[in-house]
């Protein structure tokens, strides 16, 4: 697996989305990749959560990184997080 690098935007969004770099890497390394907009790739991974997020308790956190596979690395341009 190629090294995974987050862009400045992706890194800045981590605290607002409630996701860690480790979760992003795990999603990319273990889940199936599909095509996303603008020629990018995406994947989704559900993590057990059972915690509070924005004053509500959720059982699951889904991490959805949007990334590009380049010759020597995988570049994460943004990440979406869904709680349910």
Q: pLDDT by residue (tens digit) across 40-81?
A: 999 999 999 999 999 999 999 999 999 999 999 999 999 999
User: What is the per-residue pLDDT for 42?
Assistant: 98
Residue 35's domain spans which residues?
4-83
Percent of the chain's residues with pLDDT above 70: 100
Model pTM?
Answer: 0.93
The helices-and-strands tally (H runs, E runs) of the chain is: 2, 6
User: What is the per-residue pLDDT for 1?
Assistant: 85
Per the structure, the count of domains in the chain is: 1
How many beta carbons lie within 10 A of that of residue 53, not counting itself?
13
Q: What CA–CA distance (Å, rounded) separates 31 from 47?
A: 12
For the stretch 24-28, contacts whose Cβ atoms lie closer than 8 Å and that sit 24 or more positions apart, written own/partner, are 24/63, 24/65, 24/76, 24/79, 27/63, 27/64, 27/65, 28/4, 28/65, 28/67, 28/74, 28/76
């Amino acid at each position: 697996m190629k090294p995974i690098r987050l862009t400045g935007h992706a890194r800045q969004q981590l605290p607002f989305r409630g996701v860690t770099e480790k979760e992003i890497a795990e999603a990319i390394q273990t889940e199936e990749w599909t095509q996303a907009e603008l020629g990018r790739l995406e994947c989704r991974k559900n993590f057990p959560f059972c915690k509070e997020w924005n004053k509500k308790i959720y059982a699951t956190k889904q991490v959805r990184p949007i990334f590009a596979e380049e010759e020597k690395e995988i570049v994460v341009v943004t990440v979406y997080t869904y709680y349910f």
